[in-house]
Amino acid sequence: MKRTIVLVISLLLIASLAMAGCSKGEDKPAAEDTGKTGEASEGTKEAGKDAPEAGAEPEVIKLRAFQSSFGEDPSNTGLYKAWLEKMEAHIGKKLDIEWTYVHSDDYPEKLKLQLASGDVPDILSGTKDAEIMFQFGNQGALLDIAPYIDEYAPNYKKFLESTQYAEKTLQTPEGKMFFFGDGFQNDTGMVDSAYGSLYRFDIFKKHNIKVPESWEEFYDAAVKLKELYPDVYPVNAQEWPPFHETFYYTNHTKGDIYWNGEKFVYGPTEEAFKEGIMYVHRMYKEKLLDPEFLTQSQDQLKQKVTTGKSFMIPFAWLGWWEQYSIPEQGIEWGAAILPKNEKYGEPWMQGAALPGLTAYPNYGTMISAKTKYPEIMVQLLDYQYSPEMIDLMTWGIEGMNYEVKDGKRVRIMDPSEEVKNAKLEWYGEGVTRQGFVFAPQNHAPDVSGYKDMPFYGKGQYESLNPFVGTGKFHSGKSAIPTWDLAPVIRLSKEDEAKKAQVMTAVKTYLDENLSKFILGERNFDEWSAFQDELTKIGDYQSIVDSMNELAIK
């Protein structure tokens, strides 16, 4: 008995070895060959199937889509059916799409594997790191869509035309385009953001302290709160964005190479940067800032802000307010825009929603270089950038997903049974994207998804949608950080690696010393010495120079 089992297993293994042996032969020239054989066999299959209409364009377009997913499988929903209908009508052919969904956390790893092993499906979601798309594109794995734009992509072209520095950002220096940039549409007429400062409004009201509008007022409020509650550290900070990054927006600087509107500069050498670090140090030294702000986890922070151990968070995603507030206990968190630094003018916005149409260089959608129908693939993806498709994919269907109130569209937050049964509800509540991920995002329904929160501005407490609030108290376009409108410089693979090596060393040394300055382990007298040390760690200036050279070209 046992011997037979062993025998069977050995046989199996020998068989698998034989298989490996066979495939070894075709595997030796690695990716290229296997890719070709795959394509060839697919081709023959296809040819056999469509034999009757040989020569003519096949009626059914078969394609594989490799997609990043953010929740449940969207390919079974009512919205998907509506999407497919429109798509098929648009190209005048039937679509047979084989969807592969991979969860967003696992997606980058699997995408790289697909690309690196030469097995590239027709349409692929991109990742946050556009570098991957450029490099695999340059290696020949992805379709260069640039030649198709004029003829087959009129909708996407509009996005390109209204995006600043689109050529530098979305193309290689040779003018090749390897992906459809992540589209963003903002027709709200406002420039707004979901980031700002959070304060315990109930405490501020109780002691009649003014909600800070400048860094001086921020300091004064903290001091007053410390007097009132000596055991408390009034100021705390999120893990992200960290305290000192608040000053990137209020002092108009950055802890890295950034575009200042005219050219690239290295932020940490600027006085504005040092000022920010000194401010954080002062708060820490005077025990106004929680000493654990560098090491605590989100859970620990939440515990502190819900139990009256901290009253001010200079920089946060405003959506936290609801989790931080406990109405039964009278704990009320509310928002304001970032404190102002008079010297530098209006604070900028983190994650500002640019007005109009924008194509972002990250999270694009790619087409395989080996696809059999490049024109159709371009058409399909382009159609997602059309106004009616954006509407369908972001607002949904009127009466089901949204309704019109006072001439404005409003999301139906609690869908009816009918909608649920038709599987028309938005999976993951607007997080899951329909169609080929990443199709353009529309800002208005996103805004409509946030509820009103306590908001302070211009001397008044109000109840506002966080986007509406930030939009209202900022003055539009001038609050957009310069780096959000910067040309993104594309370097060669080699130069990109060199840049990463120099800048990672520099950043490591910078981050490590910033916390030493903040915690008082290093004295600010040593700041200029520190600048010299930084130069010795890595030649960031040469990187800045080469970027400027490419930007101006």
Partner 1 sequence: MKTYNEGLGSRMFDVFNYALMVALCVIMLYPLLNTFSISLSDPDLIAQGKISWYPQGFTIDGYSFIFQSNDLLRAYKNTLIYVLVGTVLQLLLTSLFSYPLSMGNFVLRKPLTIFVIITMVFGGGLIPTYMLIRNLHLLDTLWVIVLPGALSAFNIIIFRTFFQEIPKELRESAYLDGANDMKILFRIYMPLSKALLATFALFGAVGFWNMWFEAMIYLNDMRLHPIQMLLRRMIVELKDMNDHGGLQRYVEMHNVNPKNIKMATVIVTILPILFVYPFVQRHFVTGMLVGSVKG
Partner 2 sequence: MNGNVVSKNSFWRRCIKQRYLIMMVLPGFVLMLVFKYFPMYGILIAFKDFNAMDGILRSPWAGLKHFQAFFDSPMSWRIIKNTLLLGLYSLIFGFPAPIVFALLLNELRITLFKRAVQTITYFPHFLSTVIIVGFVHEFASMDGIINHVMGWFGVDPVPLLNFSANFRSLFIGSSIWQELGWGAIIYLAAITGADSALYEAAVIDGANRWQRIRYVTWPAIVPATTVMLIMKLGSILSTDFQKVLLMYNPNIYETADVIETYVYRLGIMGTQYEYSSAVGLMLSLIAFVLITSGNYISKKVSENSLW
Using CB under 8 A as the binding rule, whether residue 154 contacts partner 2 is answered as no
Among 82, 116, 278, 397, binds partner 2 (CB under 8 A): 116
Using CB under 8 A as the binding rule, whether residue 110 contacts partner 1 is answered as yes
Helix (H) or strand (E) holding 213: none
Q: Residue 341 Cβ, how far from partner 1 at the closest point, in Å?
A: 28
Strands 123-125 and 60-69: parallel
* Residue 295, both tokens: 């090491």
Q: Which residues contact 549 (CB under 8 A, 6 or more apart)?
A: none
Using CB under 8 A as the binding rule, whether residue 231 contacts partner 1 is answered as no
CA distances from 162 to 46, 141, 185, 186 (A): 40, 28, 11, 12
The single residue listed with the structure tokens 């800032």 is: 289
Using CB under 8 A as the binding rule, whether residue 116 contacts partner 1 is answered as yes
**Half-sphere exposure at residue 377, Cβ-oriented, CA atoms within 13 angstroms:** 26
Using CB under 8 A as the binding rule, whether residue 537 contacts partner 2 is answered as yes
Q: Which of partner 2, partner 1, none lies near 451, with the C-beta cut-off 5 to 8 A by kind?
A: partner 1
* Residue 434, both tokens: 């329909």
Q: Find the DSSP H helices in 461-526.
A: 466-473, 493-518
Q: Which residues contact 460 (CB under 8 A, 6 or more apart)?
A: none
Using CB under 8 A as the binding rule, whether residue 238 contacts partner 1 is answered as no
Using CB under 8 A as the binding rule, whether residue 552 contacts partner 2 is answered as no
* Residue 125, both tokens: 């979601």
Among 430, 469, 471, 538, binds partner 1 (CB under 8 A): 430
Question: How many angstroms separate the CA atoms of 425 and 417, rounded?
Answer: 10
Q: Residue 9 Cβ, how far from partner 2 at the closest point, in Å?
A: 6
**Interacting span for partner 2 (CB under 8 A) from 185-193, 221-229, 399-407, 490-498:** 490-498
Query: 303 or 463: whose CB is closer to partner 1?
Result: 303
With CB under 8 A, what is the number of residues at the site for partner 2?
A: 57
Q: What are phi and psi of 253, to 5 degrees?
A: -150, -175
Q: Which of partner 1, partner 2, none lies near 500, with the C-beta cut-off 5 to 8 A by kind?
A: partner 2
Query: 84 or 503: whose CB is closer to partner 2?
Result: 503
CA distances from 408 to 185, 283, 448, 450 (A): 17, 45, 10, 15
Q: Residue 541 Cβ, how far from partner 1 at the closest point, in Å?
A: 35
Q: Which residues contact 390 (CB under 8 A, 6 or more apart)?
A: 183, 185, 384, 439, 440, 442
Q: Which of partner 2, partner 1, none lies near 36, with the C-beta cut-off 5 to 8 A by kind?
A: none
Query: 221 or 424: whose CB is closer to partner 1?
Result: 424
Q: Residue 116 Cβ, how far from partner 2 at the closest point, in Å?
A: 5
CA distances from 249 to 84, 216, 343, 513, 544 (A): 43, 16, 13, 21, 21
End-to-end CA distance of the chain: 77
Residue 140's Cβ-count burial label (10 Å; 0-12, 13-18, 19+) is exposed
Using CB under 8 A as the binding rule, whether residue 291 contacts partner 2 is answered as yes
Degrees, nearest 5: CA angle 157-162-168 = 80
Residues 296-335 close enough to bind partner 1 by CB under 8 A: 299-300, 302-303, 306-307, 317, 319, 322-323, 326
Using CB under 8 A as the binding rule, whether residue 522 contacts partner 2 is answered as no
Query: 280 or 390: whose CB is closer to partner 2?
Result: 280
Looking at residue 235, what DSSP letter applies?
Answer: B
Question: How many angstroms separate the CA atoms of 482 and 261, rounded?
Answer: 5
Q: Residue 7 Cβ, how far from partner 2 at the closest point, in Å?
A: 10
Query: 57 or 73: whose CB is closer to partner 1?
Result: 73
Q: Which of partner 2, partner 1, none lies near 302, with the C-beta cut-off 5 to 8 A by kind?
A: partner 1
Yes or no: say if 289 and 235 are a contact pair by the CB < 8 Å rule. yes
Q: Which residues contact 268 (CB under 8 A, 6 or more apart)?
A: 255, 256, 510, 531, 534
Yes or no: say if 165 and 259 are a contact pair by the CB < 8 Å rule. no
Residues 74-103 close enough to bind partner 1 by CB under 8 A: 100-103
Question: How many angstroms separate the CA atoms of 83 and 392, rounded?
Answer: 7
Query: 468 or 488: whose CB is closer to partner 2?
Result: 488
**Interacting span for partner 1 (CB under 8 A) from 220-228, 273-281, 371-379, 449-457:** 449-457
Using CB under 8 A as the binding rule, whether residue 541 contacts partner 2 is answered as no
**Interacting span for partner 2 (CB under 8 A) from 43-51, 149-157, 349-357, 532-540:** 532-540
Q: Which of partner 2, partner 1, none lies near 157, with the C-beta cut-off 5 to 8 A by kind?
A: none
The single residue listed with the structure tokens 């005048």 is: 92
Q: Which of partner 2, partner 1, none lies near 88, with the C-beta cut-off 5 to 8 A by kind?
A: none
Residues 82-111 close enough to bind partner 2 by CB under 8 A: 108
Chain residues in the site for partner 1 (CB under 8 A): 2-3, 5-6, 9, 16, 19-20, 23, 26-27, 30-31, 34, 70-73, 100-106, 109-110, 113, 116-119, 194, 299-300, 302-303, 306-307, 317, 319, 322-323, 326, 413-414, 428-431, 449-451
Chain residues in the site for partner 2 (CB under 8 A): 6, 9-10, 13-14, 16-17, 20, 24, 28-33, 108, 112, 115-118, 127, 129, 131-132, 135-136, 139-141, 291-292, 294-297, 299-300, 493, 496-497, 500-501, 504-505, 507-509, 511-512, 514-516, 519, 536-538
